[in-house]
Amino acid sequence: MKFLITGGAGFIGSAVVRLLLTSTTHQVLNVDKLTYAGNLASLDSVAQNRNYHFIQADIADRLAMDAIFADFQPDVVMHLAAESHVDRSIDGPAAFIHSNILGTYSLLESARAYYLALTADQKSQFRFHHISTDEVFGDLSIEDDKFNEATAYAPSSPYSASKAASDHLVRAWHRTYGLPIVITNCSNNYGPYHFPEKLIPLMIINALHGKPLPVYGSGDQIRDWLFVEDHAAALLTVALEGTIGETYLVGGNNEKTNLEVVQSICALLNELVTEKPADIQDFNQLISFVADRPGHDLRYAIDATKLQESLGWQPKETFESGLRKTVLWYLENTAWWQAVLNGSYRLERLGQGN
């Protein structure tokens, strides 16, 4: 089969691309605009695979997307391209409106035009899989039940509002135009190749440099953590086996406060790092509490029962095993994140398209 992956140079997208190319014989076309969060170095291990192709393009560019559909003729679209950082959405929401709403609209229209021209047999194979977030549901109190597929939308940030809008568009294109879609909403991902602005890699890298580990408020915000490779496996399962028109929630069943996450990172670094930065005896001493983020959601938690029971997916990693793998990866792959920090990863993009 032919898989068109949007945002395949991003954190989750690159995990999906790597999984497809290492565990299947499907063809993969990675379409990525290569914003700051797109890093082709995350795909070095599969870049020479004969089934892999890359095109740099903006999903909001309708002409470019029409040409890509016509040339590649995908069987499955997995739409992961998105702006995804809450703090950035607060400081500059325009990019989130452009990519997450206008980009999704443009991609849907290209997909619809392509789908309508397919034969009946080809139509029966085609899927448009939209990958979203649990943040569209707002937040939960400590006592509330976990999010499920029937939870009402109540986004809190420009980021989550833009993703909620994209979810609604995808469902509307299914109901109004008959586009065969599936949707997934996931909890917080973590793992290798995570962009250093996000909580877990930021804490690891700051600690290794002896810098403060800033924790919002008192650090009591709760997130459900999902190892990125478990998420990629879930996405492939839904793309191939999910029921058309259905939504599936993907979670790791690992609720942790942000402070617990940071303390767990410190414990692993205390164990694994033999040469600590100057004057650091215990990485926990770097933890500092800073003013809370505006509108900070208290708790996210996902009930993944539907996905587990209907499609048989189960996460392989516990939070403890996944976090250990993640910390070890950052300790062993300093060149990857140092290139992100110094900006050189953006200079390596020239000549990468094919």
Q: Which residues are catalytic?
A: 134-135, 159
- Give me the long-range contacts of 313-317 (CB less than 8 A, separation at least 24): 313/233, 313/234, 313/237, 313/250, 315/226, 315/227, 315/230, 315/234, 315/252, 315/253, 316/227, 316/229, 316/230, 316/233, 317/227, 317/229, 317/230, 317/252
Sheet arrangement for strand 222-227: 188-190, 222-227, 255-257
DSSP string spanning 117-139?
Answer: TS-HHHHHH-EEEEEEEGGGG--
- Residue 237, classed as helix, strand or coil, is helix
Buried b / exposed e over 28-44, threshold 16 CB at 10 Å, is bbbbbbbeebbbbbbbe
Structure letter (DSSP) for residue 173: H
